[in-house]
Structure formats: C-alpha cells, structure tokens
Amino acid sequence: MTTARDIMTPSPRCIGENDSLRIAANIMSDLDVGSLPICGEDSKLKGMLTDRDIIVRAVAVGLDTETTPASALAQGKPVTVDVDDNIDVALALMQKHQIRRVPVIEDHLLVGIVSQADIARSLSAEQTGETVESISQ
C-alpha cells in the first residue's frame, strides 16, 4: 500500500498567518511555487494560499498586500490527509475538491504536501491522468 508519506514532498515551507501577502508572494517567487500552507503561531495548518488567491482575492479588489495578512485569505477548514492514509484517499480528495495539492498532517502538524507533480513522479500514468483530468474540470 502506497501512503501519503511515501510520495509527499516533506517539510513544506509555510507562510505565517500574520505575515503579509507581499511576504507570501516573495516566498512563492523565491521557491518557484504557486502555493504555500498558512501556519499559525501554534504551528498548525490554518489554510492554503495560492498565487491566484493573492491576485484575484486581494490585488483585484484593492487589498494592500503590505498590510493584509495571509490569514485574511484562509477560508474554511483545509482539506488534508493523514501521513499514513492510503494515497487513494489523497487522490479522491484532490479530485472531489478539484485541488492540485493536499497538505499531509501527522499529530495535527503539517509534515508534507502531496502535489500533482508528486503523483506524476510516483504513481502510474493512468492514476496520474485520471487525477489531473478530474482536477482540471
């Protein structure tokens, strides 16, 4: 059985819930990524922030990226998988919620991310294709 732990990218970089959107955008640029987990001062996952969130939900409506905290764009409870969940659980969640990455949790703390790229590197072409097709609808 392949688990989330087996294919995840470990130790993802977080943006602090009180850090500004500008800081988040700079980190995304430095790391060449399109999203960051938002982590609280308690080190627990508070949400996910994407480059699209910053543009569409902040810049486009006139929010100040210097003063708006990342937490302002965190909505609802993040979709997550447990580190020991079968990878099929992660694939099903990604497809159901049409998300390109899912945070991996262990003992209530963020330990990794399963992304489309992780799936493509680790799973069959059929599983990868089905997941990408479903996410992209």
The domain segmentation of the chain, as residue ranges, is 4-135
Phi first, then psi: give them for residue 95, nearest 5 degrees: -70, -45
**The pLDDT value given to residue 129:** 84
**The pLDDT value given to residue 58:** 96
Is the distance from CB of 101 to CB of 113 less than 8 angstroms? Answer: yes
What separation in angstroms does the CA of 42 have from each of 23, 35, 39, 87, 91?
Answer: 20, 20, 8, 27, 28
Is the distance from CB of 106 to CB of 127 less than 8 angstroms? Answer: no
CA atoms within 13 A on the CB side of 123: 26
Tokens representing 84?
């020991």
Write the pLDDT tens digit of every residue in 48-74: 999 999 999 999 999 999 999 999 998
Q: How far is CA 106 from the centre of its chain?
A: 15
**The pLDDT value given to residue 14:** 95
Cα separation, 3 vs 131, whole angstroms: 16
Tokens representing 67?
């003063």
Q: Which CATH architecture has domain 4-135?
A: Roll (3.10)
| Four-residue CA torsion sign, 85, 87, 92, 97 | positive
Write the pLDDT tens digit of every residue in 76-85: 889 999 999 9
**In which residue ranges of the chain is pLDDT below 50?**
none
Q: Which residues make beta-bridge pairs with 15? A: 38
Question: pTM for this structure?
Answer: 0.88
**The pLDDT value given to residue 83:** 97
